[in-house]
Amino acid sequence: MAWNLDSDRPIFIQILERIRIDVISGKYQPGEKLPSVRELAAEAAVNPNTMQRAFAELERTGLVYAKRTSGRFITEDQEMIETVKSEIAKEKIRLFLDSMKELGYEKEQTLTLMRQSMEGEKA
């Protein structure tokens, strides 16, 4: 099944996000081998050049490393994975806070609303 990608944002960025989340969520285990560019591009139904660029960026940031002929592997560096996880979380929170601000809520109000809905969930 082709990945669900937005049509108005560059695909390259969306692929990076998706793979990062897959690593954090454990879909790709540390040290696991990534599918080849072509395979993953076919699965996602995206241009292989774009997939290649995403892989190159992942390598650059260290989330993925390449073993010369055997392909690309997820890093085993747990610390790095945690860093990426918290970076993504922080980004999501930033976006959330922005949208709350758009609705007209101040930071304190937002916190209150959050506590309420979390307690509601517990019950």
Partner 1 sequence: MSALLECRKLTKRYKTKEVLNQVNLTLESGRMIGLLGPNGSGKTTLIKMINGLLTPTEGELLFCGGKIGEQSKRHISYLPDQTYLNMNQKVRDVIAFFEDFYEDFEKERAYDMLKKLQISADDRLKTLSKGTKEKVQLVLVMSRRAKLYVLDEPIAGVDPAVRDYILKTIISNYEPEASVLIATHLIADIENVLDEVVLIQNGRVMQHLSVDEIRSQKGKSVDAYFREVFKC
Q: Report if residue 35 touches partner 1, rule: CB under 8 A.
A: no
The pair of three-digit structure tokens given for residue 111, joined into one six-digit string: 């916190």
Q: Report if residue 19 touches partner 1, rule: CB under 8 A.
A: no
Residue choice 27, 38, 90, 94 for contact with partner 1 (CB under 8 A): 38
> What's the closest the beta carbon of residue 93 comes to partner 1, in angstroms?
24
Q: Report if residue 54 touches partner 1, rule: CB under 8 A.
A: no
Distances, alpha carbon 75 to alpha carbons 4, 14, 31, 47, 52, in Å: 26, 20, 6, 25, 18
Cα 87 from Cα 23, distance rounded (Å): 13
Under the rule (CB under 8 A), what is the footprint of partner 1?
2, 5, 7-12, 38-39, 41-42, 44-50
